Amino acid sequence: MTTSSDLLTRLPPPPAGKTGWPWTDDGYAAAQRTQLTAWPRFSVITPTSNRVALLEKTIRAVLLQHYPNLEYIVIDGGSRDGTVELLERYGEHIAYWVSEPDKNQADALNKGLRRCTGEIVAFINSDDFYLPGALRRVAQLLVDHPEAAWISGVVRYEDGEGNYLFSRQIPPLPAHRADWIDRWPTYQPACFWRHVCFQRVGEFRVDLPYTFDTEFTIRLPFHGLFPLSVDEPFSVRVLHGETKQQTHPDIYPREAQRYYPDFARYLTPAEMPPFFWRQLRRRYGKARARSLWEAYGEVAKAALRHPLWFWRGWRWWRQEEARRRTVTA
């Protein structure tokens, strides 16, 4: 068994001035709080591209999980910022790494997935990192809950200086399936999947470079793969000012519109009206901010393209309004 000093001393020394987790604190005590007689193989993938300033912390936080059956894979998109040199330094501790051009983050992850041999699969981006003992705790939860196809926990958000900002957690799966599509947020750094999830629903969609992880998460319950949600922190997402969420926040809702129809086809005639009307009201509101005529145009297009759903959605909305007035009266 690896002791507290063994692994930390075998890793490359941390940069000057770096202390704490995962630099001088090896997380051994936290890891030892979880014990299993047999550890399922755990595959972790890190996709990266020109993030050398942040990547080392991500790498160390994976390796210092003290997970006895770890397969760590790093897929770099051909970086020119010293990433290759960093990976060479840590190469003996990484099961597989490569530096070559890719289409986008989803493409890099799919390359890693094809290399994975683990029963449990996760990915952690090169500007995020795991908390001590996270992987061992996830493995224990999946062993104790064989009915769960995947685990979701709490993500802590920090700024680029390491200051705590807030925490987020995937809420319980909504009762109405229409709400799975657009009212169920994803916090990927604290998600961990059994390999069967990818066998059942496939890889990440390369044509969705910003929302591929959200789309994948929504795919799972529609295929009968349900999560165990736990109120435990597993990871940290760093908002350093250059994340995709911060630099292109407007792209996410636009890209989501591309996969909504894929899931809407799973909805029954009774489930479809609220979803259709909700989407129409969102489009109307955005268009109304630009001009009233553009907003009217969105309504007209919806009525002409989907007359049946428009009529059913409008009827559902009228019934909901009547019900609300009755409740508040």
Splitting the chain (329 residues) into consecutive groups of 10 residues, what average pLDDT does each group show? Answer: 69 94 94 93 97 96 97 97 96 97 96 98 96 98 98 95 94 91 91 98 96 96 96 94 67 87 90 85 85 88 85 86 81
pLDDT given at position 120? 98
pLDDT given at position 245? 65
Contact status, residue 111 vs residue 102, Cβ threshold 8 Å:
yes
pLDDT given at position 288? 87
Class of the CATH-defined domain 4-247 = alpha beta
Rounded to the nearest angstrom, the gap between the alpha carbon of residue 72 and the centroid of all alpha carbons in its chain is 18
pLDDT given at position 177? 92
Contact status, residue 245 vs residue 155, Cβ threshold 8 Å:
no
Task: Give the residue extent of every domain in the chain.
Answer: 4-247, 268-328
Query: Which tokens hold the place of 220?
Result: 């799972």
pLDDT given at position 244? 66
Burial annotation 79-111 (CB, 10 A radius, 16+ → b, else e): beeebbebbeebeebbebbbbeebebbbbbbbb
pLDDT given at position 59? 98
pLDDT given at position 14? 94
Nearest to 59 by CA among 18, 29, 100, 118: 18
